[in-house]
Amino acid sequence: MSTVLLIARRELRAAFAGLYGWAILALVLMLDGLFFNAYTLGSQRPSSEVLSLFFYTNFGVTMAAAVFVTMRSFAAEREQRTLVLLLTSPAADWQVVLGKYLGALGFVLCTVIAAAYIPAMVYLKGNLEWGQAAAGYLGIGLAAAVCTAIGIFCSAASPNQLAAGVAAGFLVTLQVLFWLLSGISDPPLDAVFAAMDLYREHFEPFQDGAVHLKTLVYAPTVSFLFLLGSVRVLQARRWT
Amino acid sequence: MGNVHTDQLSKNYGAVAALSNVGFECGAGDVVGVLGLNGAGKSTLLRILAGELLPSFGSVHVGGVELGVDSRAMRSLVGYLPEEPPLYREMRVRDYLQFVGALNGVPGRLLAGRIAAVAERVHVEHHLDRVIGELSMGFRKRVGIAQAILHEPEVVLLDEPVSSLDPAEIVGMRELVRSLGGERTVFTSSHHLREIHETCDSILVLHEGALVVHGTQAELGALAGRERLEVELKGTPHDASRSLPAGAALVSTEDLGGGLSMIVVELAEAPREAVVAALVASDLGVRRVEPVRSDLEGVFLDLVSGDGVPDSAGNGSGS
């Protein structure tokens, strides 16, 4: 097994080994269920709108889950003094970062899968559009990839879990509020901010069933940059 | 070049110099004690040797591989136990060792056998299926050593291996550390001078980031002018005193009864052989001659206070 997958598997198992991971999963399911109940149950909305609303709320819940999961990633290991095990192993720093990233992303996607009972209900009781569902889940996956990478970077750069959570929360929130900055900025900054906006520019079309090529470029690029930043942080810490 | 070699090794934390110009060489199989007061740079030295930190200046070679040039290859040659064992508390011991073994490149087909052998060696074979968080500190340290030697590294680094252990665990740990030597180079740091005294072949003394001296315990005792001989003889201490060659002095005497005396001779400048030869030749009925083990604490305190530091201190080469 490659070093990356080895570290990812341990991360994923660790997330489910303690109360913390299960608590996040329970919270995700509770919030998804509450939002679904509040917005759609009992209403006469068409199935496509119900599904769109589900993806809308699931997007926010998944982002929060990514922040809560990743804030522990490096910061908790540093606090518990276990990070040294990885840093003194023959694993390269990029392998450590990628392994932790994939493990955390795996957990976040597990929470997404766990909430799939809601689209399943739409399928059973309504008229599920498979294309919209696939596009929506692709959008959720891409957004989760971005938010998890941001969280990993903040966890690698922060001295403790709380600071990592606050920093990741701020950066993720910033990612979905770029459209506000875009609205009050002059050209060409407005276009730059709009292109960086995670929700309006890069997720909203997916929740309605449209797959945009620019998002397929945006999400891996942003994720890569934050992971590269994480590797640089680890390397820099060896010098300080 | 020895198995571990450092040259002008320096490490700065901002404006603070944690290590400065540390140079030494150690051969394969040595058990090396790293002594120093708090803040002397012991842990920093071990963290650099483990590849966790990179030096600000100077070089580190382990097994001929230089840190910074091929750091991953160097790290694969080293096993490291920090003061706080890096254990995932939620894992079972066996799962943890499997993870660490795979992380360090132990082939899967060898891993089970290697884990069984190492577990037996550190005496955790009956705890392999226990959750690490439920183990006592002594067993956690043992698991920590197991992870450090699982991939059969050339160099094992143990940072304060006996800290937080009870007396019975300390005895076991001492035997374990001692047994690691011979086949691999072992560095162990400790505040317990007795641990170093009991387990190490040679000693590195660090003070305020500088290497004060590197040598065997006997060499350290000699450096501090404290090498002594305990002699049991039939004559009187007065006779013995007159027989001593120049450069040796009688330090203490004891009447053992039955015409026997015990004297302690300090070898200031006279060679040990000359002193023994002189006593035997004087027909005093020498029954036993034994070097007095150095008072390591006194030697150490002399060295870090500068009183006993010779001109060549800090340039000691490996034993």
Contact B104 A90 (CB under 8 A): yes
Q: State the total domains in chain A.
A: 1
Q: Closest to A81 (Cβ–Cβ): which among B50, B80, B86? A: B86
Dihedral of alpha carbons B238, B243, B245, B251, sign: negative
With an 8 Å Cβ cutoff, is B111 touching chain A?
no
Nearest CA in chain A to B105: A90
- pLDDT at position B226, please? 61
pTM of the model as a whole = 0.83
Q: Which residues of B touch A10 (CB under 8 A)?
A: 88, 99
- pLDDT at position B317, please? 38
pLDDT tens readout for residues A109-119: 999 999 999 99
Residues of chain A contacting B, Cβ within 8 Å: 1, 3, 6-7, 10, 14, 17-18, 80-92, 238-240
With an 8 Å Cβ cutoff, is B61 touching chain A?
no
Q: State the total domains in chain B.
A: 2
Nearest CA in chain A to B13: A240
Residues B170 and B234 reside in one and the same domain: no
Structural domain boundaries enclosing A86: 3-239
Contact A82 B88 (CB under 8 A): yes
Share of chain B above pLDDT 90, in %: 44
pLDDT of B290 above 50:
yes
With an 8 Å Cβ cutoff, is B246 touching chain A?
no
Contact A238 B147 (CB under 8 A): no
User: What CATH number corresponds to the domain at position B170?
Assistant: 3.40.50.300
Residues B185 and B245 reside in one and the same domain: no
User: What CATH number corresponds to the domain at position B252?
Assistant: 3.30.70.1710
Residues B75 and B173 reside in one and the same domain: yes
Residues B144 and B203 reside in one and the same domain: yes
Helix A47-79 and helix A19-39: axis angle, to 10°? 160
CB B30 within 8 A of CB B201: yes
CB A47 within 8 A of CB A123: no
Residues B21 and B166 reside in one and the same domain: yes
Residues B14 and B135 reside in one and the same domain: yes
Residues B267 and B158 reside in one and the same domain: no
DSSP code for B40? S
Residue B299 lies in a domain: no
- Give the number of C-alpha atoms closer than 13 A to the C-alpha of residue A81, restricted to the C-beta side: 9
Q: Which residues of chain A have pLDDT under 50?
A: none
- pLDDT at position A147, please? 96
Residue where a domain stops, chosen among B167, B191, B222: B222
- pLDDT at position B2, please? 60
Contact B102 A86 (CB under 8 A): no
Contact A17 B84 (CB under 8 A): no
Confidence band of B135 (pLDDT split at 50, 70, 90):
very high
B271-295: average pLDDT: 81
Instruction: Please tell me the distance from the alpha carbon of residue A114 to that of residue A189, in angstroms, as a whole number.
Output: 39
What counts of helices (H) and strands (E) characterise chain B?
Answer: 11, 14
Nearest CA in chain A to B151: A89
pLDDT tens readout for residues B229-256: 888 888 788 888 888 888 888 877 888 8
Radius of gyration of chain B (CA): 23
Q: Which residues of A touch B88 (CB under 8 A)?
A: 10, 14, 82
Residues B267 and B209 reside in one and the same domain: no
- pLDDT at position B313, please? 40
Question: Which of A4, A16, A22, A238 is most worth mutating to test chain B (most B CB atoms within 10 A of its CB)?
Answer: A238
Contact B51 A88 (CB under 8 A): yes
Residue B207 lies in a domain: yes
> How many CB atoms are located within 10 Å of the residue B259 CB?
11
Residues B140 and B217 reside in one and the same domain: yes
Average pLDDT over chain B reads 85
Amino acid at B313: A
pLDDT of B84 above 70:
yes
With an 8 Å Cβ cutoff, is B77 touching chain A?
no
Nearest CA in chain A to B77: A90
Residues B84 and B152 reside in one and the same domain: yes
- pLDDT at position B315, please? 41
Contact B86 A6 (CB under 8 A): no
Q: Closest to A84 (Cβ–Cβ): which among B82, B91, B102? A: B82
Alpha-carbon torsion angle B273, B277, B278, B283, nearest 10: 150
Contact B86 A91 (CB under 8 A): no
Confidence band of B222 (pLDDT split at 50, 70, 90):
low
Residues B180 and B37 reside in one and the same domain: yes
pLDDT tens readout for residues B157-193: 999 888 877 788 788 888 888 888 877 899 999 877 7
Residues B116 and B194 reside in one and the same domain: yes
CB B189 within 8 A of CB B158: yes
pLDDT tens readout for residues A60-100: 999 999 999 999 999 999 999 999 999 999 999 999 999 99
- pLDDT at position B49, please? 96
Residue where a domain stops, chosen among B222, B254, B280: B222
- pLDDT at position A199, please? 86
Residue B258 lies in a domain: yes
CB B46 within 8 A of CB B9: no
pLDDT tens readout for residues B57-66: 999 999 889 9
Q: Closest to B75 (Cβ–Cβ): which among A14, A88, A239? A: A88
Q: Closest to B86 (Cβ–Cβ): which among A1, A82, A240? A: A82
Closest CA to B203 of B33, B49, B318, B46: B33
Nearest CA in chain B to A83: B86
- pLDDT at position A128, please? 85
Q: Where are the beta strands (DSSP E) in B179-285?
A: 185-189, 202-207, 210-216, 228-233, 248-257, 260-267
Q: How far off is chain A from B9, nearest CA to CA, in Å?
A: 13
Contact A85 B73 (CB under 8 A): no
Q: Closest to A85 (Cβ–Cβ): which among B100, B105, B108? A: B100
More confident: B26 or B305? B26
Task: For residue A84, give Cα distances in angstroms to B47, B79, B239, B282.
Answer: 9, 11, 62, 62
Q: How far off is chain A from B179, nearest CA to CA, in Å?
A: 23
Structural domain boundaries enclosing B23: 4-222
Q: Where are the beta strands (DSSP E) in B95-233?
A: 155-159, 185-189, 202-207, 210-216, 228-233
Question: Which of A9, A12, A81, A85 is most worth mutating to test chain B (most B CB atoms within 10 A of its CB)?
Answer: A85
